[in-house]
Chain A
Amino acid sequence: MAFAFDTSVFWDTFPMLMRGLKLTIEITIGGLFFGFILGSAAGLMKLSRNFFTRKIAGVYVEAIRGTPMLVQAMFLYYGVPMALGMRIPPMTAGIIIIAVNSGAYIAEIVRGAVQSIHKGQFEAGRSIGLTNAQTMRFIIWPQALKRMIPPLGNQFIISLKDTSLLMVIGVGELMRTGQEITSVNFRAFEVYLAVACVYLVMTLSIAFVMRRIEKKLNTSRR
């Protein structure tokens, strides 16, 4: 039987894919929200004067960066419950994985951005009597944040795509939805093409939004 491209598959599967997309978006936003907090904390810890604080953050970053996310997901979802004696709901596990994973990369983004701010800014803050924390909050952080925008956009796109790996722990996100559809209608070509297009639309949207933010910050002075 010759292959025939069937556009009707798109329209038939569209509602299901959108339900999967909804989960993908929820996990991405939730994961990146906590990932940014985690990454900011770890990034600042890496700049600490305290040896142990630095080391803790360092071990976290290296351990996460150095292992595949797929393994992390399997370990958290199937491994950890055996030790804890309680199951973690797939959605929760998914958000934790994305948060912990993106946090490690965001930590490096944060560290780099903060370090790129000229030392004189810090000294000027301290010289007007601000505490260390105030100097960080009012002077260093706002400037560093602007420099983080491009690499953060990159990380957001990577994390969005990484949510597809969560299909292995049974999260009904976009990729898993696609797979489930093909197991019923056997239209792998059309379905995965549609899935790919939806991911592309999402990643292009992130890129667009980040570019807008970057532009806006640039026009309102450095």
Chain B
Amino acid sequence: MIEIKNLHKSFGNLEVIKGIDLKVESGEVVCIIGPSGSGKSTVLRCINKLEEPTTGTIIVDGHDIMASSTNINEVRAEAGMVFQQFNLFPHMTILENVTLGPIKVRKMSKSDADELGLRLLDKVGLKNKARNYPEQLSGGQKQRVAIARSLALQPKVILFDEPTSALDPELVGEVLEVMQKLAKEGMTMIVVTHEMGFAKEVADRLIFIDEGIIQEEGDPVEVFANPKNPRLKDFLGKVVSHI
């Protein structure tokens, strides 16, 4: 589904990603954890080319996104993204937020798109908010709308960039619940997160990134119970001590 080979990314003189290889199979849920500034979000943003990789190869659903012949807009429609700050469109209703992609990118008729949009809003429990505007929603509701918006393009994979980090603690659960539902339905997901409980329970594979490289990866239950990499041990120690 997604294949990353020897990915490097520098911002000016600062090398953030120092050679990452990652393969994600269809239907797999991969959680990426790591300290802030480790480059985990950058990896995610390279997959749909919101960041331009410096060198390396990224294949998404058979398309080499580095090739100039690849239409990046088509690839982006296949790789939905959910942002930390939601990034809903404030001038559109909730339903319009969800249907914009289907109408403009998938060339769906408005009535078909509305039907799809309402079905997806129902799925994330927000059908009754369809006619509201984003500013009338709580953070958790906004993020659920953002998930519906990315689902509306019927993507092959969804990239989650710290989807719960901007939420008040009591709103985290409702978002994770929706994500868990998606995972159960077989959606391919790559999730950059600080929610260790979610990673442990939902992920098929856990990846620990620090200093721009993958330091450790494996089955989440196994990795949490028995971390080998000293950096990961240190990181988990800091995270767990807060619980």
In the complex, are the beta carbons of A126 and B87 less than 8 A apart?
no
Interface positions, chain A 137-169, Cβ under 8 Å from B, are 138-139, 142-143, 146
Q: A128-B149, A130-B101, A130-B105 are in contact. Are A120 and B77 (CB under 8 A)?
A: no
Q: Are A127 and B81 in contact (CB under 8 A)?
A: yes
**Contacts A138-B100, A139-B89 given: A127-B135 contact, CB under 8 Å?**
no
Confirm or deny: B73 has a beta carbon within 8 angstroms of a beta carbon on chain A: yes
Establish whether residues B87 and A123, one from each chain, have CB atoms under 8 Å apart when the complex forms: yes
Residue of B73, B87, B90 near A221 (CB, 8 A) is B90
Answer yes or no: B242 CB below 8 A from chain A CBs: no
Pick from A123, A125, A127, A131: contact of B80, CB under 8 Å:
A127
Contact B91 A142 (CB under 8 A): yes
Interface residues in B98-147 by Cβ distance below 8 A to A read 100-101, 104-105, 133, 135
Give chain A's interface residues, CB within 8 Å of chain B: 118, 120-121, 123-131, 134, 138-139, 142-143, 146, 221-222
**Quick check: B135 and A138 within 8 Å, CB to CB?**
no
B85 within 8 A of A: yes
Is B50 a contact partner of A126 (Cβ separation < 8 A)?
Answer: yes
| Chain A CB within 8 A of B150 CB | yes
Partner of B76 from A121, A128, A221 at Cβ < 8 Å = A128
Chain A residues with CB under 8 Å of B89's CB are 121, 124-125, 139, 143
- Which residue in chain A gives the minimum CB-CB distance to B96? A138
Counting contact residues on chain B (CB < 8 A from A), the size range is 20 to 34
B191 lies within 8 A of chain A by Cβ:
no
Contact B101 A128 (CB under 8 A): yes
Q: How far is the CA of A121 from the CA of B149 in the complex (A)?
A: 13
- B residues 39-87 with Cβ under 8 Å of A? 48, 50, 73-74, 76-77, 79-81, 83, 85, 87
Which A residues lie within 8 Å of B7 (CB)? none
The distance in angstroms between the C-alpha atoms of A124 and B104, with both chains bound, is 14
- Which chain B positions have C-beta within 8 A of A142? 91
Sample of 21 A–B contacts (CB below 8 Å): A118-B87, A120-B83, A120-B87, A121-B87, A124-B81, A126-B50, A126-B76, A127-B48, A127-B79, A127-B81, A128-B80, A128-B100, A128-B153, A129-B74, A129-B76, A129-B77, A129-B101, A130-B100, A143-B90, A221-B90, A222-B90
In the bound complex, what is the Cα–Cα distance between A2 and B45 (angstroms)? Answer: 81
Q: Of all chain A residues, which has the CB nearest B132?
A: A221
Contact A221 B135 (CB under 8 A): yes
CB distance from B86 to the nearest CB of A (A): 8
CA distance A129 to B104 in the complex (A): 9
- Shortest Cβ-Cβ A-B pairs, 3 listed: A129-B77, A124-B87, A128-B101
User: What is the CA–CA distance of A146 and B73 in the complex, to the nearest angstrom?
Assistant: 28
**Within 8 Å CB of A143, what residues of B?**
89-91
- Bound CA span A191–B92, Å: 51
Distance A120 CA – B87 CA, assembled complex (angstroms): 6
B88 lies within 8 A of chain A by Cβ:
yes
Contacts of B80 in A (CB 8 A): 127-128
CB of B104 within 8 A of CB of A130, answer yes
Smallest distance from the beta carbon of B101 to chain A beta carbons, Å?
4
Whole-angstrom CA separation of A139 from B133 in the bound complex: 14
Q: Given the complex, which residues of B lie within 8 Å of A221, measured CB to CB? A: 90-91, 133, 135
What are the residues of chain A within 8 A of B79 when measuring CB–CB? 127
Which chain A residues border B104 with CB–CB below 8 Å?
A: 130, 134, 138
